[in-house]
Every structure is written in structure tokens, then in C-alpha cells.
Chains A and B, each alone.
Chain A
Amino acid sequence: MTTQNAIEARNVVKAFGQGDTAVRALDDVSVEIRQGEFFTLLGPSGCGKTTLLRLIAGFEMPTDGVILLEGQDITYLPPNKRPVNTVFQSYALFPHLTVAQNISFGLEMLGKPRGEIKQTTERMLALVKLEEMASRKTSQLSGGQQQRVALARALAPQPKVLLLDEPLSALDLKLRQAMQIELKRLQTETGITFVFVTHDQEEALTMSDRIGVMSAGKLQQVGSAKDIYTRPVNRFVASFIGETNFLQAQAQGNKARLSSGDVVDLDAAATGAVTLTIRPEQIRLADPADADALPATVTNLVYFGTDTHVHLALADSTEVVVRQQSPSTGDSGVVMGQKVGLRFAPGAAQVVGD
């Protein structure tokens, strides 16, 4: 078995409309999605996630560029000829068919023998735990059950790639969390490549093998959750995923001088004016007398239950936020206006592009 990519998009452009009013929903997107991985497309509303998914499914043709499925060019193949299935955000279950008929639809269209259709449908019903509902109409199901029918229907023909467009966004929090676990289980059990779209960063971080962060029709960064969180390539990625502090600095080798005059260590050499990002949980409060600590003043305290956000001002009044675990008893030990020192964890300060 070669380690071929399940999906590869090369320089894909998708423009809607013509001339000056044209919208570039996708602007030169290239991405490689590996076989058997849980890949998430993450980005704010309107960044082009659905458009990329629709191009992979074949509902839309790109203006430019190529899409490959296991190395084969499928750019202009109609959707019914692609071994790719979609779980729609609205589920799009056929209201005139029963649960079982919905699930067997794809297999029937593929012309599979009766016995196989019956067997696979039963296996799918069991997989999503809906055996009892087989002969119900889909309108008689709850949102979570409909969601599972949509999943089973898309998985039944055993596609090479399963596309999921914000499949959980219509569910309430409890059900969403349960379905996240269920989805992950299904993906592991079936070994099918999942391409999952969401604008919920927490969902992306917890479920994915790799994440592609999108913004304004461009793919900003692709990597594991940890990569993207700890080594964001630019300001957008750093601020879209988790919370962070941005500090302006002058870099010289492995040192950077902040605008406040303080010097911090970098784990990669850089030169000139740079932007640093430092996660709030990577900073510790220390004794102001500590020679290595950056002097700062507490300006605000915001309590978040398990965490407390301590807002501070550096010497030149640059704002920095530090996240601390809230102590189980009493106060956090700092008060407004207090002078403290700040210590950064090793590798905490990352240089990011704009």
C-alpha cells in the first residue's frame, strides 16, 4: 500500500460571479489530506469551507486548479461518479423514505445485490444504534437521531472520503459533545478519511488528527492541533485558535527586545521588527524582585470558574493577559494595582507573520 493522499487540491480557485463583482470564495488553495485521517477545515463564517467541500463532492466545479482523489483527477467528475459522500448540515434526509430506505439509497444506486444491501444496511443501523427505528419515517426522529441516519446513509456505500459540513451545529451542547465522541469512534472503526468542517475551534482541537485553518478563501496553516496551537504561523491563526497576547519586539538572534524595553528569549533566531505571540497560560506570575522577571502591574482580574485571567500592564503600559488556575480557597494572591514579575515558559514567545 502506498502512502497516497486521499484528497489533494492543487491551486484551487473558485470565483462566484463575474468581473468586478466576482467573489473569490477560494483563492489558490492547495492541501493534501492523508488516507484515513480525521481532517478538519476550521475558519470563520464565509471563509470558503463549504465551497472547498462542495468542490471535493463535485457539486461545484473550480474556476481553476485540480482536485485529485487517490492520485486520480476528479476535478470535473459529476458527484454521482465520485466515491465520496457528504453529511449535510441540514441532514437532507429523504422525507418520503424510511430510515432503512434512506440508508440503503446509495447502495441501490450503485446497483449492489439485494442481499448485500440488506446486510450493509443492518450493519449501518447497528453502527449508529438505530436498529429499532429502521422502518420509521425520518420526520419522526429527534435531531440527534436524524444526524445519525445522515451519517449511516453517507457511510453505507463505504466511500473513500466522507465529507461533513458542520454536522453538529444544529445540536445542543450535551448532544454535540456525545456526537463528537461518536463521530471519532465511527472514524476509527471504519478507517474512512473524514473531512470535517467547523467554525468551532474547540471541536476542531479535540477531534482532529490535522487541522487546516482557513481565512478569506486562503488556507492559512495545516498541522496537528498542537502544532497550530503552539506554533501558529500568523496573527490570524494565533488569535483564531485560543486566546493569546501579541507583543511588538525588535529581534536580534535568539533575543527580542519588547517595546517596554524588556528582553525575552526566542527558540528560533529572527531579526528586525517582529510580532510575538505568547499564550496566557504560558506566563507565570513571579516575585517583582526576581531579576529575570518582567516588571508589570495588575490592572484587572476576571474570574472564569476554574481559571482567573489576570490583566497586567508592562512598563510602557502594553497590555498582557495571564491565565492562572483559580485557587480552591481564598483569593488568588494578587490584587489590583499590585506590582508583580512575569516569567515566560521556555519557547512560549513565538514569532508570527502578519
Chain B
Amino acid sequence: MAKPSFQVARLPGFSTVAMLAFLALYIPILTLVVYSFNSEISMGEWGGFSWKWYEKAWANEAVKDATLRSLNIAAFAAVISTALATMAALGTTRRRVFKGQTFIYVMINQPLMVPEIVTAVALMILFGLIKTVTGVHGLGYLILAHSAFCIPFAYLPIRARLEGMDLTLETAASDLYASPWATFRRVTLPLLMPGVIAGMMLAFVVSLDDVVITEFVKSAGQDTLPTYMLGQMRRQLTPEINAISTGLLFITVAMLTAFFLLTRKQD
């Protein structure tokens, strides 16, 4: 046996600290989920299990409207940002190391680093300008904004997948009479697919959850689910919000589980 190396897990109190951290992470969420089933309106008392708030939320036209808009934006943003991120990943990995490579990485991942509120304000000003000049309104602005900040989330898993890919596979395809396009379609893309799908799902979830940028960019009547909830909570706190949140949580967890299953080391 080798000399025992330093292990954090062996420190006294490690498991206590870990447990506390997990509690801090999950107790709020657990509370939320539990209270979404509370038949009482007040958070103070437990009136027994009930689907009441889910039914109420389901019947609420405004919630339905916001949900559809959210899904709509997220779907478009996920597809657009994934397409762009795939191209960016191919452009940054399928070549020799070049000057300014790090700079390009930083540029692509800019939305991760610039404070969201700054981007939000900037977009609001720019889009406001475009709207007054062209007179064009619509959901396009939100989709565009979401597509932009989703790119790094889609880019990272795709790039990771590409970097782990054996370049000789593409050489082998070209050796076997595949044109560059056929090589991409028959070899590169299928091998990249798990990364692409993972990137798309991550982008979808990120878009679905966004508040700050949406709040600034949206026009009147363009509420997404999170901004609708924010607006509701300014007025009054009802367990209906808990129910909606739990629903959102459920979608996100499902997507992220699929994401981890896809990015898990395969073949």
C-alpha cells in the first residue's frame, strides 16, 4: 500500500459540513414543493394535501399564455444557439492551435462573464432603438436575446465532445471516399450528436429560467412564466406560484437528468 494521501473526506466533521450544505441546498426547494400541495392559502398552517393550486394554475389563462410563450422562446433559442454553438465549436477545435484562440473562447463565452443586468440594459436600449426606427415588434427580440446568452451553455458540452473525438476517424472517412461534406454528415455529426443534444437541452433550460434579460427586453403582454411569477409576487403571494414553480422545477430536473445521461462517458 502507498502512503495514505491527504483526503478531505477523512477530516473530522466533514460529513456534518456536507450534510449541512445539502440541507441548505434542498430544504428551500423541499419546502416549496410541500407547500404547493397545501390546501390552506397561508404559509403559516398546513391544511392537508390538495391539488387545488395546480388546478387553479392550470385554469389560469395568463399562466397558460406565459407558459406557452416560455416554451416557444426556449425552443427557438435552444435550436438557434445550438446551431451557432456547433459551428463555433467546429471552428475552434478542428484546426491547429492558432493565435488569439483564448481570446476567441472568451468572446464566445462572454455572456457567462458579463453581468446579466448589463447585457439586459444594453439590449433594452438597442432593441428600443430598433423598434422605434423600424416599427417592428414581436417575439423575435426575446428569441434573439435568449439565443445569444444561451450560446455558451450549448457551446461547452459540444466542444467537450469534439475535443474527445478521435480525428483519425475523419481521416479514415476521407480515405474511404467520403467527400468533406459526407464525412461531416456520416461521421462527425453522428458522433457529435450526444453533445449537440446535451447542449440544446442545457440551452433550453437556461432560456426557460431567465428573468433578468427577459424582464428588460419584453414588451407589454410578452410575459414569460418567470416574469409572470415575478409580477404576481409583487402583488400577492399565493400557493399557485408554488405550484407553478414546482412544475418548472420538474421540467428542469427532467431535462438536466437527460443531459447528464447524455454527457456521461459512453462507448
Contacts and interface: CB of A to CB of B under 8 A. Distances in A.
Given A80-B178, A106-B177, A109-B178, A92 B172 contact: yes
B61 interface: no
B1 interface: no
A79 B182 CA distance: 13
17 contacts: A59-B175, A79-B171, A79-B174, A85-B175, A86-B172, A88-B168, A92-B169, A92-B172, A96-B267, A105-B176, A106-B176, A106-B177, A109-B173, A109-B177, A109-B182, A137-B267, A153-B176
Contact of A92 (B166, B179, B182): B166
A80 B177 CA distance: 4
A105 to B, nearest CB: 5
Interface of B: 166, 168-169, 171-179, 182, 186-187, 190-191, 267
A197 interface: no
A57 interface: yes
Contacts of A81: 177
A80 B172 contact: no
Contacts of B187: 94
A119 interface: no
Contact of B175 (A86, A93, A96, A137): A86
B171 A92 contact: yes
Interface residues of A, number: 26
A78 B174 contact: yes
Contacts of A59: 171, 174-175
A317 interface: no
A94 B177 contact: no
A88 B175 CA distance: 10
Listed from nearest, the 3 A-B pairs whose CB atoms lie closest are A106-B176, A109-B177, A92-B172
Given A58-B175, A92-B172, 10 more contacts: A59-B174, A79-B171, A79-B175, A86-B175, A90-B166, A92-B171, A94-B187, A105-B178, A109-B177, A109-B179
Interface in A73-100: 78-81, 84-86, 88, 90, 92-96
Given A94-B169, A94-B187, A85 B267 contact: no
B173 A90 contact: no
Contacts of A153: 176
A157 interface: yes
A4 interface: no
A110 interface: yes
A79 B180 CA distance: 10
A153 B187 CA distance: 15
Interface in A56-81: 57-59, 78-81
A57 B191 contact: no
Contacts of B191: 95-96
Nearest to B182: A109
Nearest to B191: A96
Interface string A313-350: 00000000000000000000000000000000000000
